[in-house]
Chain A
Amino acid sequence: MDILIQFAYIVSGGLFIFGLKQLGSPATARRGNMISATAMLVAIVAALLDQGIVDFQFIVIGFVVGGAVGAAAARLVQMTSMPEMVALFNGFGGMASLLVGWAALSPEAGTFTLVTIILSILIGGMTFTGSLIAYGKLSETIGSGAVQFSGQQVVNSLIVLGILGGSVMFCMNPGNDLWLFVVIGLALVFGIMAVIPIGGADMPVVISLLNSYSGLAACAAGFAVDNNILIVAGALVGASGIILTQIMCKAMNRSLSNVLFSGFGSGKQDTTEVEGEIKPISVDDAYYVLEAASNVAIIPGYGMAVAQAQHVVKELTELLEQNGAEVNFGIHPVAGRMPGHMNVLLAEADVPYDQLLEMDDINPRMENVDVAIVIGANDVVNPAARENEGSPIYGMPVINVDNARTVFVLKRSMASGFAGIENPLFYKDNTRMLFGDAKESIGGLIREFS
């Protein structure tokens, strides 16, 4: 029987790999997810065949409760709240690894097993609280700004030292629960401390990093309970999370350590000087400009998610196309609060994915664009990143909307974006500000068209 289970795990591992591969292309992605789910099913069934299992009561209760909660959450969640949902699921995965590591603790455990137990507790614990804080920041139940205080580095260093010391003591005295609880407690605190200094706009990086951690925690738990499939699946997730994190960092032209430790915009003084004046435009006038445009680019940002404006944007797109204009979307890699956030929202509104252009594809076309409409985006279209060495975001690749003939910026008010960085785009000669709620402004344009 045991050998059968092991072979089932091999099949499952192969399916996971194939599923992930299929997830890499829009045409096959849905099937890929199904294959991956099948792999999970195979692994679970194989695990249930284990002869060591004599009592199914707890397992069934766990499945039913967890499955029901997960299914309900997955069905009910709004597409705009997807980032915090993913963060929350991720946190539960981390906590599960912590519990498995803890439960695997037995008097006869060798040093190697003890080290892997402590790793799964550590990584799982900080994934759990880190994800909860990320959830809080994304859903704005707690402030989304960067929390910093003097002596933060010192406190964090002490925690890390405490974790190291506690881990060593635990491995030397596995019978003493005190050190176990010290490590669990410190890991949970460390997860909080690691995420609070990171601001809302950097969340795409944090989410994909935490995702990677939960994989690594599963992987460590796999070592602790001697299970191949945990190691393989966990390592796949760990590696993929790190790659995504790297892509996000590159898109912001910052190093990972800069994202994690600096608290965006706090270190460097903003020396951007703005010239010119703000030129507001009314919905009526905006309509006349749009009606004459033959090439329109729409650049969405987090503000579109907040205003829930994706459906009216789609409607406007259709009207513009009926009017003979070519419409494209320019998606910055870190627009929104998780990797690919804008793509999901626009997909929800039925915008075909081949109409969504990545930054490097839209920028060369910008000179031929008659009207670029910026909806709730700020830092990702800030020309200061290109022109002003004194700007905190200098060097970050941005979408060059200012190269279009006319730029409409849909914005609630003149309050500056995250971290209060000045945006010279708003003062350029070819920029017009359309103030108000994005959904209402676009609704107004739609009424003019029809």
Chain B
Amino acid sequence: MIPAEVFLTFILMLTIFLGFELINKVPATLHTPLMSGANAISGITVVGAISLAGTGEQDLANWLGAGAVALASINVVGGYMVTDRMLSMFKKKEG
């Protein structure tokens, strides 16, 4: 049996290359929304935090998880909203 860590590391390697390819040719105009959009994605930690915050154990890990859910939610909600606010202002010249 190949251990699961190997597959996870394999996924990591492929994803990093994919990330490089995705971002490489983005025009400078979009660098800020791209950065803040990517920043919102980094709030994905919330998914990991959810399982830790929901154990019902009332122990340290539970409290840490709850804190992580709150902090990551700021990152996710704030990040997506701010990005959308910026992108809604980008307009092409009429006519």
Contacts and interface: CB of A to CB of B under 8 A. Distances in A.
Nearest to A359: B28
Contacts of B83: 33
A243 interface: yes
A24 B51 contact: no
A238 B51 contact: no
Contacts of B16: 235, 238-239
Q: For chain B, which range describes its interface: under 10, 10 to 19, 20 to 34, or 35 or more residues? A: 35 or more
Given A47-B50, A50-B54, A211-B42, A29 B73 contact: no
B39 A229 contact: no
Given A36-B37, A100-B48, A344-B32, A112 B77 contact: no
A32 B44 contact: no
B91 A347 contact: yes
A149 interface: no
Contacts of A208: 35
Nearest to B33: A29
Contacts of A30: 84, 87-88, 90
Interface string B37-70: 1111111111111111111100011111111111
A388 to B, nearest CB: 27
Contacts of A55: 54-56
Contacts of A24: 22-23, 25-27, 30, 34
Contacts of A65: 70, 73
Interface string A217-246: 111011111111111111111111111100
Given A26-B27, A27-B92, A237 B82 contact: no
Interface of A is mostly: helix
A102 interface: yes
B71 A33 contact: no
A66 B41 contact: no
Contacts of B42: 90, 93, 211, 214-215, 217-218, 233-234, 237
Given A23-B26, A237-B19, 14 more contacts: A20-B19, A46-B47, A54-B54, A56-B54, A63-B73, A66-B75, A92-B72, A96-B46, A97-B68, A103-B64, A217-B45, A225-B52, A247-B31, A354-B93
Interface of B: 4-5, 8, 11-12, 15-20, 22-56, 60-94
